Amino acid sequence: MEYDGFSLGNIIQEIRRDKKLNQAEMAEKVDISVTHYARIEEGKNTMSINVFLRILNVLDVDANTVLGFKDVSYDYQAMELLKKYLKLDTKEKEKIIRVVNIMVDSEDNA
């Protein structure tokens, strides 16, 4: 498999923006310079496995998603929704399940 730093950097940038972090905040959390971090996102610098793992940790995302082994937008969104769902109490979860079932049933009947 060929390393495409630009695509990887774009994915990291997209997830970072979704998390409402700027490059300076990411660089600080990952413990690298802002310039180096920005060049990683631009695909101009490579990164060590340690830096990559720290980026994944800060973004709270798994390597498969970032490396493109899954549909990034779908899996990322599903994971975020699941995390929110798991924080709900039982009654709120039941409401969500009812709403989803109604929506799915109405789509099936359309």
For the chain, what are the domain ranges?
Answer: 1-70, 72-110
Contacts of 54 (CB under 8 A, 6+ apart): 29, 30, 31
Cα(52)–Cα(110) distance, rounded to whole angstroms?
Answer: 45
Encoded amino acid at 89, one letter: D
Torsion of the alpha carbons at 96, 99, 104 and 106, rounded to the nearest 10: 180
Q: Tens digits of per-residue pLDDT, 7-66?
A: 889 899 999 999 999 999 999 999 999 999 999 999 999 999 999 999 999 999 988 878
Q: Measured between alpha carbons, how far apart are the two ends of the chain, in Å?
A: 43
Cα(102)–Cα(98) distance, rounded to whole angstroms?
Answer: 6
CATH class of 1-70: mainly alpha
- The pTM assigned to this predicted structure is 0.60
